[in-house]
A and B are shown apart, each in its own frame.
Chain A
Amino acid sequence: MTGGVSRSGPLPDGTVDVAVVGGGVVGAAVARELAGREHDGRALSVALVEARPDVGDGTSKANTAILHTGFDATPGTLESRLVRRGYELLGGYAERAGIPVERTGALLVAWTGEELAALPALADKAVKNGYRQCEIVGADEVYGLVPALGPGALGGLTVPGESIICPWTTTLAFATEALARGAGVLLNTRVEGVQRDGGEETVLLTNRGPLRARWVVNAAGLGSDAVDRLFGHERFTVTPRRGELLVFDKMARPLANRIVLPVPSSRGKGVLISPTIYGNVMLGPTAEDLRDRADTSTSEEGFAFLVDKGLALMPELLKEEVTASYAGLRAATEHGDYQVHLDGAERYLVLGGIRSTGLTSSMALAEHAAGLLAEAGLVTSVRDELPEPPRMPNIGEAFPRPYMCDDLIAGDPAYGTVVCFCERVTAGEIRDALASPLPPADIDGLRRRTRAMMGRCQGFFCGAEVGRRLAPVPDSVEESR
Chain B
Amino acid sequence: MNLTTDVAVVGGGPSGLTAAAGLAAAGLRVLVLDREREAGGIPRHSDHTGYGLRDLRTVMTGPAYARLLANRALEAGALVRTSAMVTGWAGEHALDVTTPEGRLRVDARAVVLATGARERPRTARMVPGDRPAGVLTTGQLQNVVHLHHGKVGTRAVIVGAELVSWSAALTLRTAGCRTVLMTSEHDRAESYAAFSVPGRAVLRVPVATATRVVRINGRDTVESVEIEDLRTGERRTVPCDTVVFTGGWIPDHELARAAGLAMDPGSRSPVVDNALATSRPGVFAVGNLVHPVDTADVAALDGRHVVRHVLAYLGGTPTGAEAIPLRAGAPFRWVSPGLVRPGAGAPPRRRILLWPDEHRAVARVMVTQDGREIARRTLPWPVSPGRVFRVPSSLLSGADPHGGPITVSLA
Q: Is the CB of A416 within 8 A of B118?
A: no
Chain A residues within 8 Å of chain B by Cβ, number: 43
Which residue among B122, B123, B130, B254 has the maximum number of chain A CB atoms within 10 Å of its CB? B123
Q: Is the CB of B150 within 8 A of A467?
A: yes
- Chain A residue nearest to B147 in the complex (CB): A464
A303 to B128, CA, bound (A): 8
Q: Which of B101, B102, B140 contacts A463 (CB 8 A)?
A: B140
Q: Mark A279-312, 1 if CB is under 8 A from B, else 0.
A: 0000000000000001011111011000000000
A326 to B136, CA, bound (A): 17
From known contacts A418-B35, A458-B122, infer whether A300 and B144 are also in contact, taking CB-CB under 8 Å.
no
Least CB distance from A32 to B in Å reads 29
Q: Is the CB of B87 within 8 A of A403?
A: yes
Which residue among B98, B143, B257 has the maximum number of chain A CB atoms within 10 Å of its CB? B98
How many pairs of residues, A versus B, come closer than 8 Å at their CB atoms? 116
Stretch of A23-31, A81-89, A189-197, A407-415 with 4 or more beta carbons under 8 angstroms from chain B = A407-415
From known contacts A300-B215, A418-B35, A458-B137, infer whether A324 and B123 are also in contact, taking CB-CB under 8 Å.
yes
| In the complex, A459 has a CB within 8 A of chain B | yes
Q: Is the CB of A321 within 8 A of B219?
A: no
- Chain B residue nearest to A421 in the complex (CB): B35
Question: What chain A residues lie within 8 Å of B120 (beta carbons)?
Answer: 321
Q: Is the CB of B136 within 8 A of A463?
A: yes
From known contacts A322-B124, A403-B87, infer whether A461 and B143 are also in contact, taking CB-CB under 8 Å.
yes
Question: What chain A residues lie within 8 Å of B144 (beta carbons)?
Answer: 463-464, 467
Question: What chain A residues lie within 8 Å of B121 (beta carbons)?
Answer: 457-460
Q: Is the CB of A300 within 8 A of B128?
A: yes
Q: Is the CB of B123 within 8 A of A323?
A: yes
From known contacts A416-B101, A417-B83, A459-B140, infer whether A294 and B219 are also in contact, taking CB-CB under 8 Å.
yes
Question: What chain A residues lie within 8 Å of B390 (beta carbons)?
Answer: none
Q: Is the CB of B101 within 8 A of A460?
A: no
Q: Is the CB of B148 within 8 A of A464?
A: yes
Least CB distance from B90 to A in Å reads 12
Question: What chain B residues lie within 8 Å of A417 (beta carbons)?
Answer: 83, 100
Q: Is the CB of A416 within 8 A of B98?
A: yes
From known contacts A300-B215, A458-B137, infer whether A322 and B126 are also in contact, taking CB-CB under 8 Å.
yes
A467 to B36, CA, bound (A): 16
Restricting to B202-221, which residues have a CB under 8 Å from any CB of A?
214-215, 219
Question: What chain A residues lie within 8 Å of B150 (beta carbons)?
Answer: 464, 467-468, 473
From known contacts A461-B139, A463-B136, infer whether A297 and B100 are also in contact, taking CB-CB under 8 Å.
no
Question: What chain A residues lie within 8 Å of B136 (beta carbons)?
Answer: 459, 463
Question: What chain A residues lie within 8 Å of B139 (beta carbons)?
Answer: 457, 460-461
Question: What chain B residues lie within 8 Å of A212 (beta carbons)?
Answer: none
Question: What chain A residues lie within 8 Å of B143 (beta carbons)?
Answer: 461, 463-465
Q: Which of A299, A406, A460, A467 contacts B118 (CB 8 A)?
A: A460
| In the complex, A379 has a CB within 8 A of chain B | no
From known contacts A297-B130, A404-B98, infer whether A473 and B124 are also in contact, taking CB-CB under 8 Å.
no
A-B interface, 6 closest residue pairs, ranked by CB to CB distance from nearest: A458-B121, A464-B143, A413-B100, A460-B139, A463-B140, A298-B128
Q: Given contact pairs A325-B128, A417-B83, A465-B148, enumerate 14 new A-B contacts (beta carbons under 8 Å).
A: A251-B254, A294-B219, A296-B130, A297-B129, A299-B128, A300-B128, A403-B85, A416-B98, A421-B85, A457-B139, A458-B122, A458-B123, A464-B140, A464-B150
